[in-house]
Chain A
Amino acid sequence: MSVTKSEIRSGAYYDSVVLMQLQRNLLQLPGVEDAGVVMATPANLELLAESQLLQAEGKAAKPEDLLIVVKAASGAKAQDALAQVDELLKRRSGAATSSFRPRSLAGAVKALPDADWVSISVPGRYAAGVAREALEFGKHVFLYSDNVSVEDEIGLKQQAQQNGLLLMGPDCGTAIINGIGLGFANHVRQGSIGLVAASGTGLQSVTSAIHNLGGGVSQAIGTGGRDLKEAIGAASTLQGLAYLAADPDTRVIVIISKPPDAAVAGKLLAAALGAGKPVVVCFLGFAAPAVRLNNLHFASGLEHAARIAVDLSQQPARDSGSPSKAKPISGYLRGLFSGGTLASELFLGLNLFLSPLFSNVAIRSEQKVNDAHKSQAHTILDLGEDEFTVGRLHPMMDNDLRIRRLKQEAADPEVGLILLDVVLGEGAHPNPAAELAPAIAAARKARKELEFVALLVGTDEDPQDIQKQEEALAKAGATVYRDITQTLEHVVGRLLGAAEVQKSPAPFAQPLAVINIGVEGFYDSQSAQGAQTIHVEWRPPASGDEDLMALLSKMRT
C-alpha cells in the first residue's frame, strides 16, 4: 500500500527548471513511485490533483509556497525522500554559483552596466513591478511574463514611451535583437528586413520563412498579444515601427498581427504610411484592401508576407510612394455608389484605414448603417439597393437620387470628402457628367474645403466618351481616377495623411547585453548565442508576504 507525504516550504521560490530536476531526482530514489514538486499556484495544484498527489495538506499551500509531494511504497521511504530534498537542491547549485549571481536588478545593473535590455519572465503578479524598475534604470524591456493587468500594461508602455524605451510584452514570446533571440526564437540570417509583431509564433514563422527564402532580419520586435487592442492602442507596435523606420539597417518593414481592433488598425496604418520604407502588412483575419497602397504591401498570410518582404529587400531601393504631405482632411468620407460591388470593394478597401466606417453593404452587423437615408461617421452607400430604387430607375440611369443625396451630404459640415463612382457603357446614362458635374461644382462653391473623388469605370470605346466625362468632372473640381487602387490611395492619403512618425526608442546598443530575470533557460540560451548576459537569482519580494510588500512599496523614496 503506497503512502503519500507532502511538505510545504513557505516563501521558497525556485524556477521551474530547478523544480523539475528535483522532481526527477526524487523519482530516482528507492521506493518512490511518484513525486510532484511545484510552486503551489492554483494551476499547479490542479495538476497535482489530477495525478492523485494532492492531499489536504497541499491544498492549504499558497502560490508562493513550494510544495513537495512524494508517493512511495511506505511512509518511511516517502519520509526518506523528503529528507533528501535539501541535498538534491544543493547538488545542483554547487556548480551553478561559481560566479556571482545578483539577487536584485540593481545588483545586476552594477555587475553588467553595458546591458540595455532586461528580459523578464517572473510570475505575472510580480512582473509589472520588475518591469517598472527596469524602465527606471533606463533599460529596454522584453516582458515574457503573462497575467499582467491591462492597466499595468498601459502604465508601463506610457512610462517606456516617455523615456524613449521599448517595452515588448507582456506575454511577448519572441524577439530577435541585434541577431540574438530573446524568448523563443529561430536562428535566422541577419539582413535588412525589420519586423514588428503582436504574435510570437507569427514572428517565428515569418522570420524563419524569410531565412529560408534567402532573406535576412535586422530586428524582430515583439509587442505582446494585446498591443493592438483598443485599450493599449498599439503603443509598442507604433514604437517598434518608429524604430524600424529610423533604423538604417532596415530596408523593409513587416507588421504582423492577429486581428487588430479597427480603430487601432487605422492608427497603425497611418503611421506605416509615413514610415518612408516599404511596409508589408499582415493582419490575419482582415481582407487585404489591395495588393499595394502607396508604400503598404498587403499580405494574405504569414508566408506571403515573408515572400513579399524578401522580394522587396532584394529589389533596388525606389521611391516607396509615400502620400503627399498636404494637410489631410478632418471631415468624414461619404461614398455614394451606383454599383453595389464597387461599393463593397471600396468599403473593404477602406475598412482597415477608417474607423468607424458604416455601410448598407457591410458584412458585420455592427458596421451596418442604421438608416440608409442618414449617414453616420464614415459611410459608404450602394444607392442601387432596393431601399433606394423602389419606384424609380436605377442610379446608373437616373442621377436624380444621387444628386439629391450629394446635396444632403455636401450640406453636412462634418463631411470632408465625397466619393462617387461613375459607370459608363451600354445601358447607362448617356452623359452622367453633364448632371453630376454641375452638382459637384455647386457644392464646391458653397464649401471650398469639400473634396470630391470620382472613380470612372469604362473604356475609351464606350458611347459616353470617357475622356470628356473625365474632363467635365475634373473641371467641376473632382479628382478623377479610372483605377480602384489609385482611388483608394488617394482617399486614404487625404483622410489619414501620413501620421507623425513617433519618436524612435533609443538605438539598441551593439553587441546585445541583457539582464535576465526569471526563467534560467533564457539566460542559458542568450549566453549560448553569444550575448553578454547576467542572470538574476530572483525571489518574490519579501518572500511573497503581501503586507510587507505593501509596506515596502510605501518606503520607496
Chain B
Amino acid sequence: MVSIDKANQTAVEGMMGARPILKGVAPARDVVPGMRPNLLLHAGPPIEWERMSGPLRGAVIGALIFEGLAKNEKEAEALVGKGEVDFAPCHHHATVGPMAGVTSASMMVYIIENETHGNMAYSNLNEGYGKVLRYGAYSEEVIAKLKWMNDVMGPVLAKAIEASGGMDIRALLSEALHMGDEGHNRNKAGSILYTTKLAPWIAQTAGDSAVAGEILKFLGENALSVLNPVMAACKAMADAAHGVEGSTMVSTMARNGTDFGLRVSGLGDQWFTAPAEVPDGLYFPSYTSADANPDIGDSTITETAGIGAFAMAAAPAIVTFVSGTPQDALNATLEMYEITTAEHSHFTIPQLEFRGSPTGIDIRKVVELGITPRVNTGIAHKDAGVGQVGAGLVRPPMKIFEDAVRAYAKQYNL
C-alpha cells in the first residue's frame, strides 16, 4: 500500500513548485491540444446539450455565431441538434474558462507554460463586465466585442507578451494577495499589476497609439483582466499535481452550470459529479436567488490551487460575500486549513502573519470533518443572455467527495 500522506506531499509540492509563466496569446486552434473547428470547449465536467443550463447554452449559441457557423440562435440550435457540434470540457484540453467557459477554435487564448514541469495551460481572454458571452449573452454587441478582442487586442497582446519575455503569474499572484486580492472574485490589484507590466510593451508593439490607448483602457478598466491568465496559471499548477499514484488530493474542481465536478490526483481522469448548488450571496438590484443559475465555471481552479476563497483572509474588502466582518474572512481561510495538505510556499497572507494559504484539498479530510471547500464565485442568471446577477459563496456537494473516497478505496483495494 502506498503512503497516502507521502503521495499527497508529492502532489502538493508539484502544485506549489510549478512556475506558471504567461508566454503569449494565440488562436485556440493553433495551440490548444485537440482543438478543431466544430469543437466547443465548456466549463466543468462533461455535459450534453440537453442538460446544459441557460447560460451555457447561450454561450454555445454565441460561440457558434462568433465562429460564423450559425447566423442566429435558431441556426445554432439546429446545428447542435443535428449533432454537428462536439462538446468537451476545457479541462480535457489543458484549458480553463470562467463561467460558461465556452472556447472555440478561432478564439484567442492565453498561453501559460509551467517552467518547472513543462506542462502548458490555456484560457480565453476576459471580456469585462456587462453583457458577456461567459454569462451566456450572445447579442450583436457581445459578438462585436469578442471580435474586437480577437482581431485587435489579441494580436497586440501576443506581441507585447512576447516582447516582454513573459510574465511570472505566480509572482504576480503573491504580490496581489498582499494587496487585498484573493485571486478569484477579487482581482483588482492583480489586474492593475498585469496592465502596468504590459503597458510599455503594448505601447511599443501596438503600432497605433489609438489602438494602444483602447487596449490599455480596456485592460485597465476591467478588474478581472488578469483572472483568465490567473486561472490558466492555476490550471498549470493543478495539472502538475495530477496523476500522483495514491494521492487523495483534489486536482480539479469545476462546474458546468448543471453539475459540480471533481477530479482527484490519484484517481486518473474520472470525474465525480453531483448537481451544482445555487450560490449563497449578494444580488445586484432587482435580482434574487430565484434568478440564479446553479454554480458555473472553471474558476474553482483557483481554490483548487490554494487561492480564491482559500485566501479569503487576504481580501477583507469582499467579506460581504461571506457574511460581514473581517474576522469572518480570517475564519474562512482558517477553516480551509482543516481540509488541506500544506501551507503554500509562495502565496502568503499578511493578515495571518504571512502564513501560507491553505493548499491541496484532501478528500479524506473533507469527508471526515464534513467540511467542503469554500468557493467565491460570481452568480449567473439562469436564463441565457442576461449575465451576472450577483456574487457570493458556494460549496461543492459533499457527495462528490464521498464518491471519490469510495472510488479510491475500490481502486486501491482497501
Question: A residues near B, CB below 8 A?
Answer: 11, 97-100, 102-104, 106-107, 110-111, 539, 541-543, 545, 548-549, 551-552, 554-557
B409 pairs with A551, CB closer than 8 A: yes
Of A104, A539, A541, the most chain B CB neighbours within 10 A belong to A104
Contacts of A103 in B (CB 8 A): 335, 338, 369-371
Q: Which residue of B lies closest to A554 (CB)?
A: B414
Report the interface size for chain B: residues with CB under 8 A from the other chain. Answer: 28
Contacts A100-B331, A100-B334, A557-B3 given: A541-B406 contact, CB under 8 Å? Answer: no
CB proximity of B413 to chain A, nearest CB, Å: 10
A557 pairs with B369, CB closer than 8 A: no
B330 pairs with A542, CB closer than 8 A: no
Question: B residues near A, CB below 8 A?
Answer: 1-5, 248, 325, 327, 330-331, 334-335, 337-338, 364-365, 367-371, 398, 402, 405-406, 408-409, 414
Q: CB < 8 Å: which of A99, A102, A107, A552 contacts B327? A: A99
A552 pairs with B405, CB closer than 8 A: yes
Q: How far is the CA of A541 from the CA of B414 in the complex (A)?
A: 19
CB proximity of A134 to chain B, nearest CB, Å: 16
Contacts of B327 in A (CB 8 A): 98-100
Q: How far is the CA of A11 from the CA of B369 in the complex (A)?
A: 12
Q: How far is the CA of A541 from the CA of B398 in the complex (A)?
A: 13
Contacts of B338 in A (CB 8 A): 102-104, 106-107
- 24 pairs of residues in contact across A and B, judged by CB atoms under 8 Å: A100-B327, A103-B335, A103-B338, A104-B338, A107-B334, A110-B337, A539-B370, A542-B368, A542-B370, A542-B402, A543-B370, A545-B402, A548-B367, A548-B405, A551-B408, A551-B409, A555-B248, A555-B364, A555-B405, A555-B408, A555-B409, A555-B414, A557-B1, A557-B3
Q: CB < 8 Å: which of A539, A548, A554 contacts B402? A: A548
Q: How far is the CA of A103 from the CA of B414 in the complex (A)?
A: 26
Q: Which residue of A lies closest to B337 (CB)?
A: A107
Q: How far is the CA of A548 from the CA of B337 in the complex (A)?
A: 22
3 A-B pairs with least C-beta separation: A100-B334, A554-B414, A100-B331
15 new A-B contacts at CB < 8 Å, known A98-B327, A557-B4: A100-B335, A102-B334, A103-B371, A104-B338, A104-B365, A107-B337, A539-B370, A542-B402, A543-B370, A548-B406, A549-B368, A551-B408, A555-B248, A556-B4, A556-B364
CB proximity of A365 to chain B, nearest CB, Å: 52
CB proximity of A180 to chain B, nearest CB, Å: 26
Of B3, B248, B370, the most chain A CB neighbours within 10 A belong to B370
A542 pairs with B5, CB closer than 8 A: no
Q: How far is the CA of A543 from the CA of B335 in the complex (A)?
A: 17
Q: How far is the CA of A543 from the CA of B2 in the complex (A)?
A: 27
Q: How far is the CA of A11 from the CA of B399 in the complex (A)?
A: 13
Q: Which residue of A lies closest to B3 (CB)?
A: A557
B369 pairs with A104, CB closer than 8 A: yes
Contacts of B402 in A (CB 8 A): 542, 545, 548
CB proximity of B411 to chain A, nearest CB, Å: 12
B409 pairs with A554, CB closer than 8 A: yes
Q: How far is the CA of A556 from the CA of B248 in the complex (A)?
A: 11
A551 pairs with B330, CB closer than 8 A: no
Q: How far is the CA of A110 from the CA of B3 in the complex (A)?
A: 23
Q: CB < 8 Å: which of B5, B325, B335 contacts A557? A: B5
CB proximity of B368 to chain A, nearest CB, Å: 5
A552 pairs with B368, CB closer than 8 A: yes
Contacts of A556 in B (CB 8 A): 4, 364
Contacts of A551 in B (CB 8 A): 405-406, 408-409, 414
Contacts A102-B338, A103-B335, A548-B402 given: A555-B4 contact, CB under 8 Å? Answer: yes
Q: How far is the CA of A85 from the CA of B409 in the complex (A)?
A: 37
CB proximity of B316 to chain A, nearest CB, Å: 14
B4 pairs with A97, CB closer than 8 A: no
Contacts of B398 in A (CB 8 A): 543
Q: How far is the CA of A263 from the CA of B135 in the complex (A)?
A: 77
Contacts of A107 in B (CB 8 A): 334, 337-338
Q: Which residue of B lies closest to A544 (CB)?
A: B370
Q: How far is the CA of A111 from the CA of B338 in the complex (A)?
A: 11
Of A102, A106, A545, A557, the most chain B CB neighbours within 10 A belong to A557
Of A98, A539, A551, the most chain B CB neighbours within 10 A belong to A551
Contacts of A102 in B (CB 8 A): 334, 338
Contacts of A97 in B (CB 8 A): 331
Contacts of B335 in A (CB 8 A): 100, 103
Of A97, A555, A556, A557, the most chain B CB neighbours within 10 A belong to A555
Q: How far is the CA of A470 from the CA of B367 in the complex (A)?
A: 78
B408 pairs with A539, CB closer than 8 A: no
Q: How far is the CA of A215 from the CA of B368 in the complex (A)?
A: 47
